[in-house]
């Protein structure tokens, strides 16, 4: 059993903290205000090897487990940064690693590890399908040595800062499969070749500084060797990777949660109103203490999900529960932090409103809280299926 205390993995924590200290709150505030991309930060993380944590050593990565990777993400968010700018690089390659051919792995993974290639994007969500993924309408039809892609995706992140994307498309129409999860496949799309040659990108302005886009495919041709694994099994391959994504995003929420708790605790000790620090009032103390307790509890579930994943065991239930607990805890901490900063919480220079917006996203993406509840109700507790 790995150490699950907040000080576990101190060596990784302090190294990531040192790197993050070079990119203080002012840096992320400016990037947010400009709706820019934290390019220098992502480059520094890549050069230090942190984004290649999950890539095995034989492919040039550091071969760490999901547990360590989660600590890296947690520390980035705890430092005031936002892993959302680059977390895709961490987990998207897992699909390639687990289901790609030897040739694909040799071709892509070392270059992803070195930072020569960025695999930041995964295209699943569609405008008319939402969470009901098996009904996706984007199709891939084989013609000789190419697949021809047609359709549309929405909310596909980091496309403008990625060289590659993993794309989910239907290769067999829904009406022709016995199980609705069959007949979908995943592909590596080389964005440098695709954009302007059958693929168009329309950025979506949004509440957080998250580079995300609508994608349009109009007879985009990709070589058959870009199919990952077997045709028709793509949905199952994607599901494997989603557990890693959920555990890592839980860790980011935990980092956010600690950031909010630290920030509001410091403020409540020094802000004097009615002749005493506001933190002396139990009405102020209790919501902060409760949020802290929930962040700590979520952290334990995160470690459990990661432990199972690293041991090669089923971790879907724990990864989903960790994501829900962590997203709720960070949101609770965010509300306490904003509330007890009073008016100052709304001023950009305190960074509270920025982090508040950033952490709110995780109630909805990459999977909404309701869908996790439904998963636990039906798949863990055996309640009747609602859809």
Ligand X SMILES: Cc1cc2nc3c(=O)[nH]c(=O)nc-3n(C[C@H](O)[C@H](O)[C@H](O)COP(=O)(O)OP(=O)(O)OC[C@H]3O[C@@H](n4cnc5c(N)ncnc54)[C@H](O)[C@@H]3O)c2cc1C
Binding site for ligand X (CB under 6 A): 122-125, 130-131, 155-157, 206, 210, 212, 361, 364-368, 370, 374, 386-387
The Cα 219–Cα 133 span in angstroms is 22
Minimal distance, residue 18 CB to ligand X, in Å:
29
Minimal distance, residue 38 CB to ligand X, in Å:
16
Q: How far is CA 2 from CA 54, 146, 305, in A?
A: 17, 46, 12
Closer residue to ligand X, CB minimum distance, 47 or 132: 132
Minimal distance, residue 132 CB to ligand X, in Å:
7
Minimal distance, residue 32 CB to ligand X, in Å:
14
Minimal distance, residue 213 CB to ligand X, in Å:
9
**Host H or E run for residue 155:** strand 146-157
Residue labelled with tokens 């800062």: 161
Closer residue to ligand X, CB minimum distance, 155 or 340: 155
Closer residue to ligand X, CB minimum distance, 281 or 369: 369
Check if the beta carbon of residue 28 is closer than 8 Å to that of residue 54. no
Q: How far is CA 139 from CA 154, 175, 184, 189, 223, in A?
A: 15, 13, 9, 14, 15
In sign, the C-alpha dihedral spanning 189, 192, 198, 200 is positive
Check if the beta carbon of residue 81 is closer than 8 Å to that of residue 256. no
DSSP state of 383: P
Check if the beta carbon of residue 55 is closer than 8 Å to that of residue 92. no
Residue showing the smallest CB distance to ligand X in the complex? 130
Pick the catalytic residue from 74, 126, 231, 245: 245
Closer residue to ligand X, CB minimum distance, 141 or 364: 364
Neighbours of 78 (CB within 10 A): 25
The Cα 160–Cα 157 span in angstroms is 8
191: Cα separation from own chain's centroid: 20
Closer residue to ligand X, CB minimum distance, 313 or 386: 386
Q: Is residue 245 flagged as an active site residue?
A: yes
Closer residue to ligand X, CB minimum distance, 72 or 215: 215
Rg (CA), the chain: 21
Catalogue the active-site residues.
245
């Amino acid at each position: 059993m790995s150490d699950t205390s907040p000080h576990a993995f101190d060596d990784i924590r302090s190294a990531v903290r040192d790197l993050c200290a070079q990119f203080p709150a002012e840096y992320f505030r400016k990037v947010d205000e400009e709706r820019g991309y934290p390019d220098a930060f992502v480059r520094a993380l890549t050069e230090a090897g942190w984004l290649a944590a999950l890539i095995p050593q034989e492919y040039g990565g550091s071969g760490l487990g999901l547990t360590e990777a989660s600590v890296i993400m947690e520390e980035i968010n705890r430092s005031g940064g936002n892993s959302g700018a680059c977390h895709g690089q961490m987990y998207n390659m897992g699909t390639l690693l687990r289901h790609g051919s030897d040739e694909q792995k040799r071709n892509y993974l070392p270059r992803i590890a070195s930072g020569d290639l960025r695999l930041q994007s995964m295209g699943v969500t569609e405008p008319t399908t939402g969470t009901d993924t098996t009904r996706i309408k984007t199709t891939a039809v084989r013609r000789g040595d190419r697949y021809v892609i047609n359709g549309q995706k929405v909310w596909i992140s980091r496309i403008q800062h990625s060289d590659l994307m993993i794309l989910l498309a239907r290769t067999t129409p829904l009406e022709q499969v016995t199980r609705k999860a069959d007949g979908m496949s995943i592909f590596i799309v080389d964005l440098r070749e695709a954009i302007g040659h059958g693929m168009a990108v329309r950025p979506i302005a949004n509440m957080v500084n998250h580079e995300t886009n609508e994608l349009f495919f109009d007879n985009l041709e990709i070589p058959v060797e870009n199919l990952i694994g077997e045709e028709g099994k793509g949905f199952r391959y994607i599901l494997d990777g989603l557990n890693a994504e959920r555990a890592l995003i839980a860790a980011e929420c935990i980092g956010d949660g600690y950031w909010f708790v630290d920030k509001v605790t410091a403020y409540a000790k020094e802000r004097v109103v009615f002749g005493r620090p506001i933190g002396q009032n139990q009405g102020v103390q209790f919501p902060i203490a409760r949020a802290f307790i929930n962040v700590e509890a979520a952290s334990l579930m995160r470690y459990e999900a990661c432990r199972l994943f690293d041991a090669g065991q089923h971790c879907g239930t724990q990864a989903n529960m960790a994501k829900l607990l962590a997203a709720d805890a960070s949101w609770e901490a965010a509300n306490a932090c904003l509330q007890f900063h009073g008016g100052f919480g709304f001023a950009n220079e305190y960074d509270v409103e920025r982090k508040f917006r950033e952490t709110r996203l995780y109630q909805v993406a990459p999977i909404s809280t309701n869908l996790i509840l439904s998963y636990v109700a039906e798949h863990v507790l055996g309640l009747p299926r609602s859809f």
